[in-house]
Amino acid sequence: STSVAYLNSKPFPPSFKFGVSTSAYQIEGAWNQGGRTPSVWDNFIHENPEKIANNDTGDVACDSYNKYEQDVDLLKSMGAQFYRLSISWTRILPYGTAQKINQEGVDYYVNLLKLLKENNIEPIVTLYHWDLPMPLQEMGGWTNPDIIKYFGDYARICYKEFGQYVKYWVTLNEPQTTCFYAYSDNPPHVHFAPAYSLDAEGTYLCAYTHVKAHALAYHIYDKEFREHQQGKISLSLLARWFEPKPNDPNGELAQELGMQFQLGLFAHPIYNGNWPQLIIDRVANRSSMQGLPQSRLPAFTKTEIDYINGTYDWFGLNYYITAMVELQYQEDDLPGNASYIVDQGFNSYTDSSWKANKCNSKMVQTPWGFKNLLKWVHDHYNQPEIIVTENGWCNHESSLNDTDRIEYVGLHLSAILDAIYDEGVNVTGYTQWSLLDNFEWLTGYSAKFGIVSVDFNDENRTRTPRDSFYWYRDVISTRILPNVSSGAIALQISL
Ligand code: GBH
């Protein structure tokens, strides 16, 4: 089905919670203040300013390091039930390892967490949203399995310092984005820090270390902290919904390859045990046809499979878009290089009839795909509690009248209600990306995701709520989606 009704009169279940998200590098600024040392993103941007739109940097960003009280005021006036933030690893551990804890950095987050608590706003805290300490990057970053133990050490310190305030932990944000955009040769023109150009070995090794680092951080919490702190841990995984090209005999295979290579590669070891069989078989077969002595995909031992399997208390899902998929390479197609793109075999594309936005050609409004994805996650990963840890819409305008964002968010909240009521999917929370316009990676400040606009030309970084902020506030307080005809903003919806 390719349509979803916006007018969804069903209420959000009483336990359903609403929040917003940000991440450290994208909002904090203060890159060299308070004892913080550079992460891979600081260095990448300082050394390659031309790689970011308008030569923007995250040096100041929203200056939330100095203005976090304003952020909490905004959360409070919106009625946010929770706030998803991330911790800057180098603010806590300037050398990346446990050899030195930076008390000023610890104090910053303790102050923020205390203020959230005073205001009854639950934090969801992400340990790692891509800002790897430089000393660890120089050792190979996510291609060096030693990173697993360093991540474990960092996680332990965070649980110890912040755990009394935190009931929801996210170990890793979107490891897929890191492994596919920072540790591979795809796509050559969109490279995230550290911009390694690696063949498929690097991409798979990156996945392997991420999955193991997550599992270690989970077990450390489980053994050393859970009894006293009573929190719940997961990771945030990105997924598109892949819709097979109509009337394509290979459509179902392309869809399955799409879902498994983007999501299953990371979710299956954690939710079901081991890599997805489809990927194990395909990569082993292709590796052997290429004359390799072993599969490009690192194998887990039986002990590792068991250790990783079940390291979750809920499912963190980041969803933005749907894409069409078609088969591009057969399993026995052997172009020269060993790219994971060729291994995965599918090609994805955007249907031109979908409502697109101006800030990224791939950003489309496809809420029906979100409903399908929620059901797919429910069916494949043991019917977990799902918290949507990111969803949102960007545009290029700083205008406060962001009807397009209200439409996108309204339709996606409606899709969640459909997934809950029609399919029995256990979705318990929705996190809008983002509270603030912020440093949107390669697109700098030109792509705006905020329900609050930030004036980046003003040294005060003045924050001004958009229409979507007030709309969201009303959804949170009424716990239903407003009827278009009675709403303050008339929506033009064409699907
Ligand atoms: C999330 O990534 C991030 O967690 C968050 O930090 C970010 O601000 C937010 O979404 C909004 O983008 O191949 O041309 O589309 C979402 C997934 C993957 C989207 C990488 C952009 C690269 C450019 N991102 N992708 S493109």
What's the whole-number mean pLDDT along residues 464-474?
A: 97
Going from the Cα of 304 to the center of ligand 1, the distance in angstroms, rounded, reads: 30
Position 172 pLDDT exceeds 50: yes
Residue to mutate, 238, 434, 435, ligand 1, most ligand atoms under 8 Å from C-beta: 238
The verdict on ipTM greater than 0.90 is yes
Instruction: Say if residue 474's pLDDT is above 90.
Output: yes
The residue written with tokens 């299956």 in the block is 268
Give the pLDDT score at 4. 40
Which residue out of 26, 191, 390 has the highest number of ligand 1 atoms within 8 Å of its CB and is therefore the one to mutate? 390
Q: What is the pLDDT of residues 112-165, one digit of tens each?
A: 999 999 999 999 999 999 999 999 999 999 999 999 999 999 999 999 999 999
Lining residues, ligand 1, CB within 6 Å: 23, 173-174, 177, 181, 190, 238, 318, 320, 360, 362, 390, 433, 440, 449
Q: How far is CA 378 from CA 55, 391, 423, in A?
A: 42, 18, 9
pTM, 2 dp: 0.96
CA distance 84 to 392: 14
Nearest-CA residue for ligand 1 atom 20 is 177
Given the residues 174, 201, 304, 326, select the one marked as catalytic. Answer: 174
Question: Residue 54: is its pLDDT beyond 50?
Answer: yes
For residue 454, pLDDT beyond 60: yes
Q: Ligand 1 centre and the CA of 358: distance in Å?
A: 15
Are the C-beta atoms of residues 472 and 388 closer than 8 Å to each other? no
Tell me what pLDDT residue 7 has.
62
| E strand or H helix that includes residue 36 | none
The SS3 of residue 453 is strand
Assigned token pair, 174: 């979107």
Residue 363 Cα: closest atom of ligand 1: 15
DSSP string, 368-427: HHHHHHHHHHHHHTTS--EEEEE----BS---S--HHHHHHHHHHHHHHHHHHHHH---E
174 is catalytic: yes
Is the predicted pLDDT of residue 495 greater than 90, yes or no?
no
Chain segment 173-200, per-residue pLDDT in tens: 999 999 999 999 777 667 999 999 998 9
Residue 226 CA to ligand 1 center (angstroms) comes to 32
- Name the CA dihedral angle for 318, 326, 441, 395, rounded to a multiple of 10 degrees: -80
- Average pLDDT in the chain: 94
pLDDT at 359: 83
Q: Please tell me the least confidently modeled range out of 5-9, 22-26, 44-48.
A: 5-9
Mean pLDDT for 433-456 is 97
**pLDDT for res 186:** 73
pLDDT in tens, 197-237: 998 999 999 999 999 999 999 999 999 999 999 999 999 99
All residues at 6 or more sequence positions from 371 whose CB lies less than 8 Å from its CB, including other chains: 4, 415, 416, 418, 419, 423
Q: Using 50, 70 and 90 to split pLDDT, how confident is the model at 485? A: very low
Checking DSSP bridges between strand 315-318 and strand 386-390, what pairing results, if any? parallel
pLDDT of residue 130: 98
Please say if 390 is a catalytic residue.
Answer: yes
pLDDT score, position 2: 38
Q: What is the pLDDT of residues 352-397, one digit of tens each?
A: 999 998 787 789 999 999 999 999 999 999 999 999 999 999 999 8
**Spatial separation of the C-alpha atoms in residues 133 and 347, rounded to whole Å:** 34
Pocket test for ligand 1, best of 173, 263, 360, 412 (most atoms within 8 A of CB): 360
Concatenate the DSSP letters of all residues of 338-379 into one string. Answer: --HHHHH-EEEE--TTSEE-SS-TT-EE-HHHHHHHHHHHHH
CA of 307 to the centre of ligand 1 (A): 30
Cα 46 to Cα 11: distance, rounded to the nearest angstrom: 48
Q: How far is the CA of 177 from the centre of ligand 1 (A)?
A: 7
Q: In this structure, what DSSP letter does residue 85 have?
A: E
Poorest-confidence range of 34-38, 91-95, 335-339, 450-454?
A: 335-339
Mean pLDDT calculated for residue range 27-56: 98
> 6: pLDDT confidence band, cut at 50, 70 and 90?
low
Does the pLDDT value for residue 486 go beyond 70? Answer: no
Ligand 1 centre to CA of 443 (Å) is: 10
Q: Which atom of ligand 1 is nearest to the CA of 174?
A: 4
Reported confidence tier of residue 398, pLDDT bands at 50, 70, 90:
confident
Kindly name the residue from 326, 390, 407, 440 that is annotated as catalytic. 390
- 410-426 pLDDT per residue, tens: 999 999 999 999 999 99
